A and B are shown apart, each in its own frame.
Chain A
């Protein structure tokens, strides 16, 4: 389909390992967002991109988290030295432009489990 896709759908890793989560937004969408959904914290904003730039990184929980977007399309969220508290569902969303009233279209998420 033409929706937002994320990979992998599930990721199990050991504490201390690095992981990369991928998001493919809807074609033509210039705005891309990452959120985290966890039992203790609900849905939290992590970072957004307008094109390839990320003007707001305030939601990243620590410097172990980073994200990039290349070619105005695919984005990768990287978590270094994973900790058990990083276990959550990571959701990606895209929007046609960076306008607050625009709908954000969400992908199915990546469920990350850190053992």
Chain B
């Protein structure tokens, strides 16, 4: 069975600091991995996805994530946080059944 673990339900950073949101997955088949962002009172928006091409994936708004098979990780990073990055971030995995299995989410706070 597939699963996703997001370490840290809340992460706080200062504006301009590095953002690191952790995601580990469990999958018996090569996974497809996604990061979605949810701004307050809005639906989920895709940030980036890994589909077995390049292991370093660049997404929107300056975010990127690196697929590390040996660590079963797909951590999300951004070199410099902006106030507008405050949101909830979800890591998700999909196998050949096509449905998304989500992690429990990480709420990112950015302080001035």
Residue ranges of A at the interface with B (Cβ–Cβ < 8 Å): 4, 31, 33, 35, 42-45, 48, 56, 59, 91, 93, 98-101, 103-109
- For the complex with contacts A33-B99, A91-B43, A100-B98, 11 further pairs of A-B residues with Cβ separation under 8 Å are A42-B104, A42-B105, A43-B90, A43-B92, A45-B99, A56-B99, A98-B98, A101-B49, A106-B44, A106-B45, A108-B41
CB < 8 Å A-B pair total: 54
Partner of A101 from B42, B43, B44, B51 at Cβ < 8 Å: B51
Q: For this complex, into which size category does the number of interface residues on chain B fall?
A: 20 to 34
Question: What residues of chain B lie closer than 8 Å to A109, measured between beta carbons?
Answer: 43
Contact: B99 with A48, CB < 8 Å? yes
Partner of A43 from B45, B96, B97, B102 at Cβ < 8 Å: B102
